[in-house]
Structures are given as C-alpha cells and as structure tokens.
Amino acid sequence: MPLIVVWTTIVAGNIVPRTMAKKSTTPRRTTRFDSLEQEVFLSLWRTYDRLRIQEDELFGRFELTPQQYNVLRLLKANHPDPVPTLTLASRLVSRAPDITRMLDKLEERGLIARDRPKENRRMVRVGISDAGIKLLDDIAEPLAECHSRQLGHMSAADLRQLVTLLRMARGPHEDSDGHWNQ
C-alpha cells in the first residue's frame, strides 16, 4: 500500500492544511518579464514575427526578399535618377551588411542597373530598370492587401499613434542625420 504524506501547519493551536496556510511575505513574481522594457521589446519582436510571416509568403511568390523589395522601392522613388550605393544602404529599413551581394542578385535578374561615374570611379550608382518597375507594379496590389491583413484591423488614429510611439522608441538609436528621422 502506498504511503501518503500530508503536510500541515499549526497556527494558533489549529491544524491547517498546507494549501490553506498563510502565504509567504516574500514577493512572488506575477509577470513573465524582468521589466516593462523587456515586455515591450519582446512584444515588438513577436509582432514583427507575426506580421513578417505574411510578407515573406508574398515576396516568396515573386522570388524576392523583403530587403530586395525595399531596395527596389527606394530606387523607384528616386527614378529616373540613380542612387549611390552607400546612400541606398543608409535608407534601408534594416541594415544590409552585404548590400553588394544583394545588388548582384537584383542585377542578375535585370531589375537594377549599376554604373560608375567617370569623375569618381570609386562610387557605384544604382538605378531601377523597367523590369524592376514592372515587378513593383505587379506586387503593388497584393502588397496592399497584405498590409491590410496585417494592420487593417486598427483605426487610422491608432496607426498614427503607433508610428509616433515607434519613432520615439527608436529615436535615440538613429543617426542624427539619418533618413528615418525625417
């Protein structure tokens, strides 16, 4: 026969089951996070992950990465003028440590063109091709639908407030003359 052990605590002469004993005065953690800042950071990370899943599926259909799309978007905004590679890299949403390889892949597909000005052979300028513009035009409607699925449940006022809060959060970490401060 198994041995059953019952823990008890004696309080003021009464026997009280352990589960009903007075709670410890030692504070217990009631949250899953070490700090409010950690909760916010992990919430941002989780949100990015949830929203990115839909975007990755969309860009995959067009054989693009989100970074490559961002390059094409920036080049189209500057079209017909080319953009120096370093300027382009500074305007990207996230850092691209190997922008040269990313540009190589876009150039192989005929989506961009690069040139070196005669007056400064060290500089490389990048422009979007007609094929790159067509690809962006083909992506435009499905991407708008994707963004609607991602954030369309929020009101315009909520979205503007979110943009403001995100700018405040990243502000101290941006370059003072950076494109994202405008």
Sorted by where each starts, the structural domains of the chain and their CATH numbers stand as 33-155 (1.10.10.10)
Reported as a pLDDT band with limits 50, 70 and 90, residue 9 is very low
Long-range CB pairs of 162-166 (<8 Å, 24+ gap) are none
142: number of Cβ within 10 Å: 13
Rounded to whole angstroms, how far apart are CA atoms 118 and 138? 35
- Total length of the chain: 182
Distance of alpha carbon 147 from the chain centroid: 13
Whether residue 80 is preceded by a cis peptide bond, meaning omega within 30 degrees of 0, is yes
Long-range CB pairs of 118-124 (<8 Å, 24+ gap) are 123/84, 123/85, 124/84, 124/85
pLDDT digit string, tens, across residues 60-71: 999 999 999 999
**102, two tokens:** 């990313």
* Per-residue pLDDT at 95: 80
Whole-model pTM: value is: 0.75
* Per-residue pLDDT at 106: 97
3-state secondary structure string across 157-177: HHHHHHHHHHHHHHHHHCCCC
